[in-house]
Amino acid sequence: MRLWLKFNLVMIIAFTVGLAAAAWFSRGIAEATARAQVLHEASLLMQQATSVRGYTAAEIEPLLAEQSAQRFLPHTVPSWAAQQVVRTLQRNFPDYDYKEAALNPTNPADRATDWEADIISFFRRDTAAREHIGERQTPNGPVLTFSRPFRITNEACLTCHSTPAAAPVPMVELYGPNNGFGWHMGEVIGAQIVSVPMSLPLGRAAQQLEALLISLGAVFLAMLVLMNVLLHVVVIKPIRGMTASAEKIAAGDFSEPEFTAAGRDEIASLARSFNLMRRSLANAMKLLDA
Ligand code: HEC
């Protein structure tokens, strides 16, 4: 096998293995970073919804208590306020979602779908779990879900969610007596579920990885060209010259000029030794002829 072929083969194999390893590691890091970013966005949205709940319960509900006695105002209900605020946010970020999903909801729009019911069941089984992080495939790409359980820990909730008789009459008139009742203390009745699209950050991570791999490939190609030029000028060309010269001398032809051996590298010292050997051979031939 030719020298240049050996060098190129070894370099190409080493580069391919190195590139595959770099791609594998970088992909893992890029995807983990993208996921962490999505999870951070999800936590922010969750915190925002939870803050709106707290604000509504602490500030709005007491303010509208009198009006609520005559006409039920959903505006005073933390759940309604939190979801309403996110709906406004969705005008600009339609792929982001926040839902207060319940198995037996007051508002039928809050009824848990299949996958939401699975998350609620998870919280019902695992009573110590405080959050659930999952991933779902949707027609618009993968979506990260970040959920927290709704466990009834406050007796006040049961005023409106235990029996229709205990609930404010205007509320029952508005929502009906058939759903959203029968909740118990300590029971997980639903979950706050935030959905954040992952396709954009994952796509960005893939683009960055692609740019990294392309630039690594370009650097490698440039190095390969440089190595081939060097190999040719410094090693292959002088050795070819010496081979041709050695073949002529072996046939008794001393007409070729001696090598000009500049430098101190191995090829230059080989050229000097070659010249020496040639002179001794020429002398020996002269002695033989005499
Ligand atoms: C004044 C009555 C009232 C009280 C007190 C109340 N809720 Fe509600 N809750 C409602 C109404 C009405 C809705 C439906 C709001 C809507 O239309 O989105 C609701 C909705 C919910 C929902 C969304 C699922 C569903 O049923 O539609 C959850 C979860 C919830 N409430 C939890 C609680 C918790 C936890 C407490 C106690 C901290 C509580 N609620 C106290 C009236 C009340």
Domain check: are 187 and 230 in the same one? Answer: no
Answer whether residue 15 is part of any domain.
Answer: no
Q: In what order do the strands lie in the sheet with 188-197?
A: 97-102, 188-197, 141-151, 132-138
Structural domain including 74 reads 27-198
pLDDT of residue 257: 86
Whole-number Å distance, alpha carbon 78 to ligand 1 midpoint, is: 7
Question: Mean pLDDT over all residues of the chain?
Answer: 93
What is the structure's pLDDT at 252? Answer: 85
- Distance from Cα 164 to the centre of ligand 1, integer Å: 13
Residues 152, 259, single domain; the answer is: no
Identify which of 199, 127, 197, 185 has the alpha carbon closest to the alpha carbon of residue 156: 185
Last-in-domain residue among 173, 198, 223:
198
> CA–CA separation, 283 vs 240, rounded Å?
25
pLDDT tens digits, one per residue of 162-207: 999 999 899 999 999 999 999 999 999 999 999 999 999 999 999 9
Of all protein residues, whose CA lies closest to atom 13 belonging to ligand 1? 106
Residue 67 lies in a domain: yes
Q: Is residue 253 part of a domain?
A: yes
Question: What is the rounded average pLDDT of the residues 200-221?
Answer: 94
CA of 23 to the centre of ligand 1 (A): 49
Asked if 124 and 191 touch (Cβ cutoff 8 Å), the reply is: no
Residues 43 and 69 grouped into a single domain: yes
Q: Is 9 exposed, middle or buried (0-12, 13-18, 19+ CB in 10 A)?
A: exposed
* Same domain assignment for residues 141 and 173: yes
Q: Which atom of ligand 1 is nearest to the CA of 100?
A: 23
127-176 pLDDT per residue, tens: 999 999 999 999 989 999 999 999 999 998 999 999 999 998 999 999 99
At residue 289, the pLDDT reads: 82
3-55 helix and 78-89 helix, angle to the nearest 10 degrees: 140
* Whether residue 220 has pLDDT greater than 80: yes
Which is the closest atom of ligand 1 to the Cα of 104?
26
99 with 240, same domain?
A: no
Ligand 1 centre to CA of 83 (Å) is: 11
Q: Are residues 188 and 257 in the same domain?
A: no
pLDDT of residue 259 exceeding 90, the answer is: no
The reply to whether 187 and 211 lie within a common domain is: no
Ligand 1: which residues within 6 Å by Cβ? Answer: 74, 77, 79-80, 100, 102, 105-107, 110, 150, 152, 154, 156-157, 159-161, 171, 175, 180, 190
pLDDT per position as a tens digit, 51-85: 999 999 999 999 998 888 888 899 999 999 999 99
| CA nearest ligand 1 atom 39, residue | 157
Residue nearest to atom 31 of ligand 1 (CA): 79
Q: 250 CA to middle of ligand 1, Å?
A: 103
183 and 70 inside one domain? yes
Task: Please compute the mean of the pLDDT values over residues 101-115 and round it to a whole number.
Answer: 97
Which of 72, 76, 79, 154 maximizes ligand 1 atoms within 8 Å of its Cβ, making it the mutation to test the pocket? Answer: 79
Looking at the fold, whether 34 and 56 belong to one and the same domain comes out as yes
Question: Stretch 206-233: mean pLDDT, rounded?
Answer: 95
Number of domains forming the structure of the chain: 2
40 with 123, same domain? yes
Confidence band for 258, pLDDT divided at 50, 70 and 90 = confident
21-25, 37-41, 238-242, 252-256: least confidently modelled range: 252-256
Q: Using pLDDT thresholds of 50, 70 and 90, give the confidence band for residue 96.
A: very high
The answer to whether residue 290 scores a pLDDT higher than 80 is: no
Nearest CA to ligand 1 atom 40: 157
% of the chain residues with pLDDT over 90: 83
Whole-number Å distance between alpha carbons of 233 and 108: 81
State whether 181 and 271 are in the same domain.
no
Asked, for residue 19, whether it belongs to a domain, the answer is no
- Residue 261 confidence (pLDDT) above 80: no
Question: Which atom belonging to ligand 1 lies closest to the Cα atom of 179?
Answer: 26
